[in-house]
Amino acid sequence: MSSVRAIVAKALPLCEPSPSEERRIAAVAQEAKALVDKQVAHMSHMVVGVVFGGSFAKGTWLRGDADIDIFFKVKPSVAVEKFEELGRSVGQDALKAHRPRMRYSDHPYVEAFVKNVRINVVPCYDVEQGKWQSAADRSPFHTEFIGRNFDDEKRRQARLLKKFLKATGIYGAEISTGGFSGYVSEVLVLKYGSFEGVLNAAADWQERQVVSVGDYDPDIVKGFISPIVIIDPVDSRRNLGTAISPESAGRFMLAARAFLDRPSIKFFKKSQRGPETKKKLLQNVLVVEFSHRERSPDIVWGQLKRSVNAVAKQLELADFAVLRSSCVTDEKKSAAMAFLLESMTLPPYTKKKGPEVFRRNDTARFLAGKKKPLVTWVDKEMRVAMLVDRKAIDARKFAKSLLQKAENSGVAKDLIAGKLQIYSGSGRKVKGVAKEAISEVVSTERLIFG
């Protein structure tokens, strides 16, 4: 037995639920489904059935980490406005005793916890394959496809892959993670035959790699924009890789190589980052900490991701070199952004290079467009050059000025609700979301890089 196989044998018990856990989850699933069945019983003119979906229905859920997806099928004739209304009301009314909350993907759905098990109640249209009307319509077909093509061994291999992805921090297609979904994991196992087969393939994936378990149209694939293209077996016009960020794709490839080179059970346990010991890095971390109002995590994460990119761009435009950035929210009311800069401060002036002196009109425009340069000269390339005062020399002051005028910053208008604090990573004792955001930009992923 190879060392890889020895580790896989040790990892399986970490992935597979015990018989007692299976019985408990199945009981909760039936209890939740009965509530949904009862809620839609009088809606036969709109709702035609209720089915399980996701990893529970496919038998690929992880030990101690079960989510139960319940889909109620809506007649194709129901208008999208009514469909979305049902997406909100059915789950909320069915699970009203379990503190349901709204979640959003392409359409609204409801999440609640029943006996500490996450339940998602999701609407989908009852359509023929390929005649999709909503983003969730493919899900029952995904469940049927995996059910037809998986046996017990493939389920074990899928669980191993999911556990590996989870330990690496790239499991889940949510905006907050940008990783590999459960269905993608199952498709990869189907394509490459086993957990080890997936890792061997991923270790050698090429740029714009296409992964498909069946035929596909190369012309359609040319239009897909993602680091890894994964064709949906139930819809060859859909790229499952769209939700996978470049960072997650790269981390998976490196994690696969690292595991194959030095197999360890650590690759199936919680990921550990390196210690925050580099004080010279902490002093150059710009932290933006603030409060936001509570709403769907999907909305908050989407706004936060866009906002951290917008602030990073503004910092770069002001000549602050941004090396890494991150954002974190507790999905309740606290959030933080962190930016690792080359330097928290800049010199008071900067050099501007103009055109070559032979370009008379361009030179004249360059000289006329600059206000009160400190000094102007012709350099060795026969170009006009000058030193001008910088508008911003302190990243903290710049960020404060930027965020006080949110309409010009690119930050989502209603994201920051109060208690805005801007400071350096070494300027105070940090905790909570700020500490997590800082850790993401100054630490090394030990699992991958050793």
Rounded to an integer, what distance in angstroms lies between the CA atom of residue 185 and that of residue 160?
10
Amino acid at 348: P
| Vertex 372: Cα angle to 371 and 373 (nearest 5) | 100
Phi, psi of 120 (to 5 degrees): -115, 125
SS3 357: coil
Nearest Cα to Cα of residue 417 among 339, 300, 308: 300
162 is in an annotated binding site: yes
Rounded to an integer, what distance in angstroms lies between the CA atom of residue 119 and that of residue 124?
16
Q: Burial letters for 169-186: b for 16+ Cβ neighbours within 10 Å, e otherwise?
A: bbbbbebbbbbbbbbbbb
Beta-bridged to residue 69, according to DSSP, are 53, 120
**In this structure, what token pair is assigned to residue 100?**
């349901």
DSSP 65: B
Nearest Cα to Cα of residue 80 among 107, 105, 101: 107
67 is in an annotated binding site: yes
Q: Where are the beta strands (DSSP E) in 265-331?
A: 285-291, 322-329
DSSP 136: G
Q: How many helices (H) and strands (E) does the chain have?
A: 16, 15
Residue 25 vs residues 22, 31, 158, 420: alpha-carbon distances, Å = 5, 10, 19, 42
443 is in an annotated binding site: no
Identify the helix (H) or strand (E) that includes residue 318. Answer: none
Feature table: binding site for CTP: 55, 58, 142, 162, 171
Binding residues for Mg(2+): 67, 69
| Binding residue numbers | 55, 58, 67, 69, 142, 162, 171
Q: Which segments are annotated as binding site for ATP?
A: 55, 58, 142, 162, 171
